[in-house]
C-alpha cells in the first residue's frame, strides 16, 4: 500500500484544468525553461478564448509572464494544460504584473532601447504615425523568452523614445500565427472599413501555418487598440505559384501617382510587387530577386533636393538597391550595398509621417540576448535615412533621429589627445552601464587603430584593407587617415555610426570578464583629435 501511495504521488499531474473567475486585470503564469512546452487553453462557456504554448513551471518559476484579461472581468475561465499541470495551482490573478515593482530596472534591461515587459520580441511590424502617436507593433511571444506563439505586440510613443506598452494587438487564429507585416491609414475608405469621419488603421500581415504562409488583413477604428480581422482572409495565397513556403511579410503603401495601393511581398527568392485599389483584391505585377524577408520600398530625395529622387528597396539583411519605381515595377540602377550591419535585422520604416516632417525613419530589431531576464530581444535606436551623393555614387545614410538628443548631457570634451591621455580621461567612465561617446581618431604611424571596452572591439579600423570590425568600409577621402564615430553604449548593446552615418553597425555588449583596462584606444601614435562624453537618461520611469 505504501509503495502504491509513493508511486501515485510521483506520477505527474497531466492534462489538468482549473477554473478562475476573473476579477483582476492580469493572470500571472509561472515559467521554467527546464520544462517541456505544453499547450494551454482558455475556454469560456466551452468556447476557446485563446490557446498557446508555454513551459509551465511545476516547481520554482524562473520568471513570470502575464495575460491581460481586463476584457474578461466577471467571466469564468477554464484553463487546461496538456503538459505537466502541477504548475496550474501557481497561476494567480492580480492588478499588478508579477515583478512589476522591479520592471525596467532589472540587471540586464536596456535603459534607452525599447524592450517588452515580458517575453520574446523580434521583427518590428506595422510602424506608423497617426494622430500624434508613433505605433510600434512587433513579433512577440508573450509567454516565454524564446520564439513561439507569434503575435503582434504593441507599444505607442509621442517621440519614438519613450514607449508605453499596450495589450497584444493580433493573436494566432485558425489560419496560423501572426508573422510580420505593415500598417496604413485608409483615409479614402478604399477598403470600406471606415466609420463616419474615423479612418481605419489597416494591418496587412502573414498568417503562418505548417501548410503555408498566406497574407491577411485586420482593421482598427480606435487607434490600434482593438482589431477586427477581415472575414474573407486570406487575401493572397501564393504557395502553389512559387512552389515555396516562403511567401511572407507584406509591406503596403499608397502610390499617389497611380492612385493605388502597392504591396511588396517576400516570395521565394526575392520581393514581389502587387497592386490593389481596395486593399482586398491584389494583382501581381513584378518580381525582384536577391532579397530575403521583410521588404521595404520607399522614395527619398538626393542630398535633400525634392526635385531629384530615387527609390530604395531592401530586405531583412539590410542590403539595398537604388532605382526607379513606376508603381508596378522596381528597376535597379545600382548593385546591392549595405549601410548597416551587425545585430540589426528586419528593419522597417514608419509610414504616414506628416508631410511637413518628411523624414524616412527606420527601426530595426536588435538580435541581442538578455541572459537571466524575463524578456529577450530589443529594438535599436530609430534612425533617419537619407540619400547622399558620395565618391561612389548615391548611397544610403543612417543617423539616430533628432529626438534622441533629449537623452544626452555632455559632461566632458577634449581635443588633440594622444591615445594614452585619452584612455586616462575615460577611466572614470569604465563602469558606466550607459554612455555616449563621440570621437575622431587620426592614424599616424599606424595602419590600424581602434577603441576597446574591457577587451571588446567597439572600433577596429584597418586602413590597409578598408575594414571596420571585419566589414569593408571605404571612407570618402581615401587619403585621409581620420575616422569619426558616434557611439551609443547601453547595458547589453553598442551602436556605432561612422562618418556621419555613411556606415553603422550594432553589436552585443560582451566585455571580457578577465580584462581590466576598460576603455582603451589603441594604435601606434594615433591622435584622438576629438573626444566627447555624454551621460544618458533612462527612458523608463
What does the alpha-carbon distance between residue 224 and residue 282 come to, in Å, rounded to a whole number? 24
Beta strands in 32-118, from DSSP E residues, in sequence order: 38-44, 47-54, 63-68, 76-84, 92-94
> Tens of pLDDT along 30-65?
999 999 999 999 999 999 999 999 999 999 999 999
Give the pLDDT confidence score for residue 6 in this predicted structure.
36
Give the pLDDT confidence score for residue 337 in this predicted structure.
96
Give the pLDDT confidence score for residue 463 in this predicted structure.
87
DSSP classification of residue 115: -
User: Taking a C-beta distance cutoff of 8 angstroms, is the pair 497, 398 a contact?
Assistant: yes
Q: Within 13 Å of residue 25, how many CA atoms lie on the same side as its CB?
A: 5
> Tens of pLDDT along 135-160?
999 999 999 999 999 999 999 999 99
Give the pLDDT confidence score for residue 15 in this predicted structure.
64
Give the pLDDT confidence score for residue 4 in this predicted structure.
39
The grid coordinates of residue 87 equal 504548475
What does the alpha-carbon distance between residue 388 and residue 395 come to, in Å, rounded to a whole number? 6
More confident residue, 13 or 58: 58
Of 178, 177, 9, 23, whose CA–CA distance to 94 is shortest? 23
Give the pLDDT confidence score for residue 268 in this predicted structure.
96
In sequence order, the 6+-apart residues with CB closer than 8 A to the CB of 251 are 181, 182, 263, 264, 265, 294, 295, 296, 297, 348
* Rg value, the chain, Cα: 25
CA-CA-CA-CA dihedral for 192, 193, 199, 202, to nearest 10: -110
pLDDT at 245 over 80: yes
- Summarize the confidence of residues 303-317 as an average pLDDT: 97
Give the pLDDT confidence score for residue 479 in this predicted structure.
73
Q: Which of 13-17, 273-277, 319-323, 479-483 has the lowest mean pLDDT?
A: 13-17
In sequence order, the 6+-apart residues with CB closer than 8 A to the CB of 194 are 186, 200, 221
What does the alpha-carbon distance between residue 122 and residue 75 come to, in Å, rounded to a whole number? 33
The grid coordinates of residue 218 equal 485586420
What does the alpha-carbon distance between residue 387 and residue 409 come to, in Å, rounded to a whole number? 29
What does the alpha-carbon distance between residue 526 and residue 541 come to, in Å, rounded to a whole number? 41
List 123, 186, 460, 527, catalytic entry: 123
The torsion angles phi and psi of 420, rounded to 5 degrees, stand at -65, -45
pLDDT at 520 over 50: yes
The torsion angles phi and psi of 230, rounded to 5 degrees, stand at -60, 130
Sign of the torsion formed by the C-alpha atoms of 64, 65, 70 and 71: negative
pLDDT at 2 over 60: no
Of 97, 90, 94, 96, whose CA–CA distance to 22 is shortest? 94
Q: Where are the alpha helices (DSSP H) in 380-447?
A: 419-426
DSSP classification of residue 232: T
The torsion angles phi and psi of 214, rounded to 5 degrees, stand at -125, 160
Give the pLDDT confidence score for residue 476 in this predicted structure.
85
Q: Catalytic: 237?
A: no
The torsion angles phi and psi of 242, rounded to 5 degrees, stand at -95, -5
What does the alpha-carbon distance between residue 205 and residue 142 come to, in Å, rounded to a whole number? 18
Give the pLDDT confidence score for residue 250 in this predicted structure.
98
pLDDT at 368 over 50: yes
In sequence order, the 6+-apart residues with CB closer than 8 A to the CB of 462 are 447, 448, 468
Sign of the torsion formed by the C-alpha atoms of 323, 350, 302 and 326: positive
- Summarize the confidence of residues 198-226 as an average pLDDT: 98
**pLDDT bracket for residue 202 (50, 70, 90):** very high
Parallel, antiparallel or unpaired: strands 344-349 and 119-130: unpaired
Give the pLDDT confidence score for residue 14 in this predicted structure.
63
Helix (H, G, I), strand (E, B) or coil at 2: helix
**pLDDT bracket for residue 412 (50, 70, 90):** very high
The grid coordinates of residue 504 equal 553603422
Give the pLDDT confidence score for residue 304 in this predicted structure.
96
What does the alpha-carbon distance between residue 340 and residue 317 come to, in Å, rounded to a whole number? 9
> Tens of pLDDT along 18-34?
999 999 999 999 999 99
Residue 296, H or E segment: strand 296-302
pLDDT at 303 over 70: yes
Please give the mean pLDDT across all residues of the chain.
Answer: 95
What is the DSSP track for 300-365? EEETTEEEEEEEEEE-TT-EEEEEEE-SS-EEE-S--EESEEESEEEEEEPBS--TTT--EEEEEE
pLDDT at 468 over 50: yes
Q: Which of 266-270, 354-358, 423-427 has the lowest mean pLDDT?
A: 354-358
Give the pLDDT confidence score for residue 249 in this predicted structure.
98
Amino acid at each position: 500500500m505504501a509503495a502504491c501511495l509513493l508511486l501515485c504521488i510521483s506520477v505527474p499531474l497531466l492534462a489538468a484544468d482549473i477554473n478562475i473567475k476573473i476579477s483582476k486585470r492580469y493572470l500571472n503564469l509561472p515559467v521554467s525553461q527546464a520544462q517541456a512546452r505544453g499547450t494551454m487553453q482558455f475556454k469560456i462557456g466551452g468556447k476557446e478564448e485563446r490557446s498557446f504554448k508555454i513551459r509551465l513551471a511545476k516547481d520554482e518559476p524562473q520568471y513570470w509572464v502575464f495575460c491581460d484579461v481586463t476584457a474578461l472581468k466577471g467571466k469564468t475561465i477554464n484553463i487546461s494544460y496538456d503538459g505537466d499541470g502541477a504548475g496550474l495551482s501557481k497561476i494567480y490573478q492580480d492588478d499588478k504584473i508579477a515583478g512589476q515593482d522591479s520592471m525596467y530596472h532589472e540587471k540586464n534591461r536596456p535603459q534607452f532601447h525599447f524592450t517588452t515587459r515580458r517575453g520574446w520580441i523580434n521583427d518590428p511590424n506595422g510602424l506608423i504615425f497617426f494622430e500624434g502617436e508613433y505605433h510600434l507593433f512587433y513579433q512577440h511571444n508573450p509567454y516565454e523568452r524564446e520564439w513561439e506563439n507569434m503575435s503582434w505586440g504593441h507599444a505607442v510613443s509621442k517621440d519614438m523614445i519613450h514607449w508605453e506598452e499596450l495589450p497584444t494587438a493580433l493573436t494566432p487564429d485558425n489560419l496560423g500565427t501572426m508573422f510580420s507585416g505593415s500598417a496604413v491609414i485608409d483615409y479614402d475608405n478604399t477598403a470600406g472599413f471606415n466609420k463616419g469621419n474615423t479612418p481605419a488603421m489597416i494591418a496587412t500581415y502573414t498568417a503562418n501555418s505548417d501548410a503555408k504562409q498566406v497574407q491577411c488583413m485586420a482593421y482598427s477604428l480606435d487607434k490600434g487598440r482593438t482589431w477586427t480581422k477581415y472575414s474573407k482572409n486570406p487575401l493572397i495565397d501564393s504557395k502553389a505559384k512559387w512552389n515555396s513556403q516562403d511567401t511572407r511579410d507584406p509591406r503596403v503603401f499608397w502610390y499617389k501617382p497611380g492612385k493605388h495601393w502597392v504591396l511588396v511581398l517576400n516570395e521565394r527568392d526575392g520581393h514581389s510587387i502587387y497592386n490593389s485599389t481596395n486593399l482586398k483584391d491584389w494583382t501581381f505585377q513584378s518580381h525582384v530577386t536577391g532579397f530575403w524577408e521583410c521588404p521595404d520600398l520607399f522614395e527619398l530625395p538626393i542630398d535633400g533636393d525634392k526635385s531629384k529622387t530615387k527609390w530604395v528597396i531592401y530586405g531583412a539583411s539590410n542590403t539595398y538597391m537604388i532605382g526607379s519605381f513606376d508603381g508596378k515595377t522596381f528597376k535597379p540602377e545600382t548593385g546591392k550595398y549595405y549601410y548597416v550591419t551587425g545585430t540589426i535585422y528586419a528593419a522597417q520604416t514608419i509610414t504616414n509621417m506628416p508631410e511637413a516632417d518628411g523624414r524616412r525613419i527606420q527601426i530595426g530589431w536588435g538580435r541581442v540576448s538578455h541572459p537571466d531576464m524575463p524578456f529577450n530581444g530589443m529594438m535599436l535606436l530609430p534612425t533617419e535615412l537619407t540619400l547622399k551623393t558620395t565618391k561612389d555614387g548615391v548611397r544610403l545614410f543612417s543617423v539616430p533621429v533628432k529626438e534622441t538628443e533629449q537623452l544626452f548631457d555632455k559632461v566632458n570634451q577634449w581635443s588633440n589627445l594622444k591615445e594614452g591621455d585619452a584612455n586616462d580621461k575615460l577611466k572614470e567612465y569604465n563602469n558606466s552601464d550607459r554612455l555616449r561617446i563621440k570621437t575622431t581618431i587620426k592614424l599616424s604611424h599606424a595602419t590600424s587603430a581602434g577603441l576597446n571596452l574591457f577587451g571588446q572591439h567597439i572600433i577596429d579600423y584597418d586602413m590597409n584593407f578598408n575594414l571596420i570590425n571585419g566589414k569593408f568600409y571605404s571612407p570618402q577621402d581615401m587619403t585621409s587617415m581620420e575616422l569619426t564615430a558616434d557611439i551609443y553604449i547601453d547595458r547589453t548593446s553598442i551602436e556605432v555610426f561612422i562618418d556621419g552615418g555613411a556606415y553603422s553597425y550594432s553589436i552585443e555588449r560582451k566585455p571580457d570578464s578577465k580584462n581590466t583596462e576598460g576603455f582603451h584606444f589603441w594604435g601606434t601614435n594615433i591622435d584622438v583629435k576629438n573626444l566627447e562624453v555624454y551621460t544618458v537618461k533612462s527612458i523608463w520611469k
